[in-house]
Amino acid sequence: MTRFLSRWLVLTIAAGVMVALLPGMEAVGEPPVLGIAAFSLFLALINASIKPVVQLIALPISILSFGLFALILNWLFMELASWLAMSLFDVGVIIHGFLWAVLGSLIMAIVSGLVNAVIGD
């Protein structure tokens, strides 16, 4: 359980940096960190539960597309996390397009790696 909570904290920090840097991402909630935390909670749940299975099933398509299909999967998972947070809690992160989701995924991966290196996850 502590591993999941630390992963959620790391994703919340990464999502906060992503929203702060990208104009195509918008945090909804009062305070905005509440929306970012809800979005990252659902993203952590998706990453822990269905993402590995979907990536394994989609592996042949990802190989044939030289990994471009993985970008589409990341976009879909970010949209799903955003939709779940908005529909269940009325807070979250609004993603204004595929390109912003791809850039957001890159920023989240870099920041998550840096934060994991600092806290020693």
The tokens of 63 are what? Answer: 């190989």
- Kindly report, residue by residue over 39-91, the tens digit of the pLDDT: 999 999 999 999 999 999 999 999 999 988 988 999 999 999 999 999 999 99
Residue 25's domain comprises 1-119
Distance CA 71, CA 32 (A): 26
Domain count, the chain: 1
Considering the entire predicted model, what is its pTM? Answer: 0.89
For every residue of 42-63, which 3-state class applies, written as one string?
HHHHHHHHCHHHHHHHCHHHHH
Instruction: Give yes or no for a contact between 27 and 36, defined as CB atoms under 8 angstroms apart.
Output: yes
Identify the CA nearest to 11 among candidates 30, 37, 29, 49: 37
